[in-house]
Structure 1
Amino acid sequence: MTSKHPDTHRPKPGDRPSARAAGRSGATPPSPHPLADELRPGQSIELLKELHILTREGKLNQDSRRKLKQVYHLYQFIEKLLLELAQQVRAPNPTDDIRAYTSPAGLTLADHGAGKSYLGFILYDLFFRQQGLGHIYGIETRAELVEKSQALASRLGFERMSFLNLTVAESTESSRLPERIDVVTALHACDSATDDAIAFGLQKRARVMVLVPCCQAEVARVLSQHKALSLSRTPLAELWRHPLHTREMGSQITNVLRCLYLEACGYQVTVTELVGWEHSMKNELIIARYTGARKRASAERLRSLLAEFGLLSLLHTRFTSLPDNAVPPLLGEVV
């Protein structure tokens, strides 16, 4: 006789039998993956093999273990930001600003200087795929990497990933990207490419920017050009008199200027260190959250630093969205 009620305890396809059930049946409970302690829950083993993080046998070597540790550490920061954005959208009474920013298709993320798209694929696999919404755009100048990434996304069924063969600067005006982007990432975008990513984020009114700057040579070049004049003007120029110090000082100044610029444009900025990237000097992580509170004090300090270090030429090339100090404070603006 057939029961009128469905078996609510019937296992679903793919469910693992409990240890007690396995004991009754005499079957051996399935053993966990040997790397279960090192992989995030839900992580696709096949993806890690395709990215050559795991060997074809599913093992980690020393170099790939370090690479995975780095990507996971950065993922933790970005996952938290994505969850914050998703919660804002689901809030009982989201603000008009949040409604205006949010696409019905979910969160959008643009990854500049994507390279082999390790970060983009991990983000999609662990967050976007499980959310069932959202889109990731990988932007890369090397056509062969774009083709390989697009082919891999197709093989894995990652339908909401797109890869564009563009420079960061070109992407700002590209019709292949949406009018607004929620999250902008730029990892080790060389020299002024980080500034281009910031310009992209401002143009797209990004709610979050995650930046790991790389080889800031532009400011160092300007400091070198004016070295003799600076030495005669201020003893502070001793900080960049020697070429090695010029590079280090240029890098430090560049990131300080970027943080002030983001604050002046309405972002709350946090600077931290990427743990596990000790082998690299490029381990500074800048996280900018849009609040709309444009800090006039940051704009003034930025202008003062540019003048002090003989960098005013950057005002018209790198900091074009800097609010005019002469403009009266806007409602809610921090002075």
Structure 2
Amino acid sequence: MTAPRPARRPTESRRRGKGSESQDAAVLAELRPGQSIELLKELHILTREGRLNQDSRRKLKQVYHLYQFIEPLLAELAQDGHAPLLADHGAGKSYLGFILYDLFFKGQGRGRIYGIEWRADLVERSRALAQRLGFERMEFLNLAVADAAGREAGLPERIDIVTALHACDTATDDAIAFGLHKQARAMVLVPCCQAEVAAQLRGSKALQLARTPLAELWRHPIHTRELGSHLTNVMRCLHLEASGYQVTVTELVGWEHSLKNELILARWTGQRKRSAAERLAAILEEFGLTGALATRFGMA
């Protein structure tokens, strides 16, 4: 009677196979239905093996969370056969634009995305990727945000939605000015590096300390930076409300994912709030910013 054979141990390749299958399932569970795996690989959000590291998971989480705010706006605008037009300012590598196209515009069969970016190499890279993927209704323009509203930029007279994800410093203000000029139905903004107001506060600090105890709020450099950032976004919201938009301010994602996390969502109502304009003018005056910033915030 022969002794029973010992149970066969799984080979290393089999063990790797099962682990690979579970990793693939975990990655797919984090993606949106219908999301192009090939696109995410091209954007280097997924590795060539289809893996998702911590940094790319954080980036994907930010873009998906922003998509949750933008998709209902697009769906509303796409009713009755309208072809939505979206301009993405400070597009960078166009993560947001490509994912919006993949998840919404591709299935609609209409509408167009304009990616606006001043770095020529990123524009060329995005154009090549759009061509490879057959994303025919994506257009990339090598422009500074401040120049995009001009007629020579070649953009349509009206744009439905303006987005700016981490557009640095005054580029967010330029995106707002662009949206106002193009009569945007909505603006979705995540400001970044708000340095201009802090610089103005620093320049007038000695005078303001003598004039008002409120200047203690920006007496120390770290407070100057933080107050300048906060004050900038407050004035942006008032500027939008005074221009006829309903404004909501919330978090983009958890603070552990991004320190620049404030999301400003503005929807056109046509109701220009006089009280918002009055408060904006009062804030500019109180902080000694009228001379430098009144024009930027529509108060000239």
Tell me the TM-score normalized by structure 2: 0.89
The alignment status of 1:49 with 2:27, answered yes or no, reads: no
- Per the TM alignment, residue 67 of structure 1 is displaced from its structure 2 partner at its CA by 1.5
Alpha-carbon distance in structure 1 between the residues aligned to 2:149 and 2:231: 25
Name the aligned partner's letter for residue 85 of structure 1: L
User: Which residue of the other structure, out of 118, 122, 125, is the alignment partner of 2:95?
Assistant: 118
Please name the residue that 1:238 is paired with: 216
Tell me the TM-score normalized by structure 1: 0.80
User: Which residue of the other structure, out of 275, 286, 300, is the alignment partner of 2:278?
Assistant: 300
User: Which residue of the other structure, out of 58, 69, 80, is the alignment partner of 2:72?
Assistant: 80
Name the aligned partner's letter for residue 129 of structure 2: L
- Per the TM alignment, residue 192 of structure 1 is displaced from its structure 2 partner at its CA by 0.7
Alpha-carbon distance in structure 1 between the residues aligned to 2:130 and 2:82: 19
Percent identity, aligned pairs only?
Answer: 75
Query: 1:286 aligns to what SS in structure 2?
Result: strand
Name the aligned partner's letter for residue 239 of structure 1: L
Alpha-carbon distance in structure 2 between the residues aligned to 1:65 and 1:229: 47
Q: What's the CA shift string for 1:61-120, capped at 9, x where partnerless? A: 222122111111111111122123234xx3xxxxxxxxxxxxx76000000000000000
Query: 1:303 aligns to what SS in structure 2?
Result: helix
- Per the TM alignment, residue 281 of structure 1 is displaced from its structure 2 partner at its CA by 2.0
- Per the TM alignment, residue 317 of structure 1 is displaced from its structure 2 partner at its CA by 3.1
Is contact 2:113-2:139 (8 Å) kept?
yes
CA separation of 1:277 and 1:147: change in aligned 2, threshold 3 A: farther
Please name the residue that 1:10 is paired with: none
Query: 2:28 aligns to what SS in structure 1?
Result: coil
User: Which residue of the other structure, out of 46, 52, 58, is the alignment partner of 2:50?
Assistant: 58
Name the aligned partner's letter for residue 78 of structure 1: I
Alpha-carbon distance in structure 2 between the residues aligned to 1:167 and 1:147: 15
Query: 2:105 aligns to what SS in structure 1?
Result: helix
User: Which residue of the other structure, out of 204, 209, 214, is the alignment partner of 2:192?
Assistant: 214
- 1:6-45 mapped onto 2 (5 Å cutoff): 34=25, 35-45=27-37
Report how many residues are paired: 277
The alignment status of 1:71 with 2:63, answered yes or no, reads: yes
What CA RMSD, in Å, does the superposition of the two structures yield over aligned residues? 1.7
User: Which residue of the other structure, out of 130, 133, 137, is the alignment partner of 1:160?
Assistant: 137
Alpha-carbon distance in structure 1 between the residues aligned to 2:55 and 2:207: 47
- Per the TM alignment, residue 277 of structure 1 is displaced from its structure 2 partner at its CA by 4.8
Please name the residue that 2:18 is paired with: none
Q: What's the CA shift string for 1:24-59, capped at 9, x where partnerless? A: xxxxxxx99623311101101110110111111112
Name the aligned partner's letter for residue 116 of structure 1: K
Query: 1:177 aligns to what SS in structure 2?
Result: coil
Name the aligned partner's letter for residue 83 of structure 2: G
Is contact 1:261-1:302 (8 Å) kept?
yes
Alpha-carbon distance in structure 1 between the residues aligned to 2:28 and 2:293: 50
Alpha-carbon distance in structure 2 between the residues aligned to 1:183 and 1:295: 21
Please name the residue that 1:197 is paired with: 175
Is contact 1:70-1:277 (8 Å) kept?
no
The alignment status of 1:253 with 2:245, answered yes or no, reads: no
Alpha-carbon distance in structure 2 between the residues aligned to 1:278 and 1:206: 32
Q: What's the CA shift string for 1:259-286, capped at 9, x where partnerless? A: 0000000000000001245243210000
Alpha-carbon distance in structure 2 between the residues aligned to 1:316 and 1:149: 36
Alpha-carbon distance in structure 2 between the residues aligned to 1:121 and 1:240: 40
Please name the residue that 1:139 is paired with: 116
The alignment status of 1:106 with 2:83, answered yes or no, reads: yes
Query: 1:278 aligns to what SS in structure 2?
Result: coil
Higher helix proportion (structure 1 or 2): 2
Alpha-carbon distance in structure 2 between the residues aligned to 1:277 and 1:234: 33
Name the aligned partner's letter for residue 309 of structure 1: F
Is contact 2:246-2:267 (8 Å) kept?
yes
Query: 1:115 aligns to what SS in structure 2?
Result: coil
